[in-house]
Amino acid sequence: MGKFIQEFKDFAVRGNAVDMAVGVIIGGAFGKIVSSIVDDIIMPPIGWLIGGVNFSDLKVTLPRVVIPGVEQMKPATINYGNFIQTFIDFIIIAFCVFLLVKAINVLTRKKKEEPAAPPAPSNEEKLLTEIRDLLKDKK
């Protein structure tokens, strides 16, 4: 059991798990911002352009089933307007993530393209070079 707990601590403290947790938290907040942009800024003008339609009000009401002696419930609806807004949210978030990944790829490609400095010769190479030079001098 102690080994299991230690492995979990190593996993949780390692940078990847912490980075992932931060990414999830920021992603959730970013999703709320995008939803607000779509719901409050993008969709109202689109609704206005197509005749004052509020997308969140777009729905199909299914017919009620009347059962004698049973309390009437609210009618069931298919809210396709909410689906349209959620779909637009997804498209915007996917596009932003695409741009972010593309920017990260460009940055990492630049790092890879930088030529690495040649490694310093090892002690063995230095010694062999000295021996070679001494042999050349003797001739």
pLDDT at residue 15, rounded to an integer: 62
For the four alpha carbons of 10, 14, 18 and 23, in that order, the dihedral sign comes to: negative
Domains of the chain with CATH codes: 2-63+74-115 (1.10.1200.120)
What 78-83 contacts at long range (C-beta under 8 Å, 24+ apart), as own/partner pairs, is 81/54, 81/55, 81/56, 81/57, 82/55, 82/56
Give the pLDDT means over successive 10-residue stretches in the chain (139 positions): 80 70 83 83 82 80 80 84 84 82 81 71 86 84
pTM: 0.52
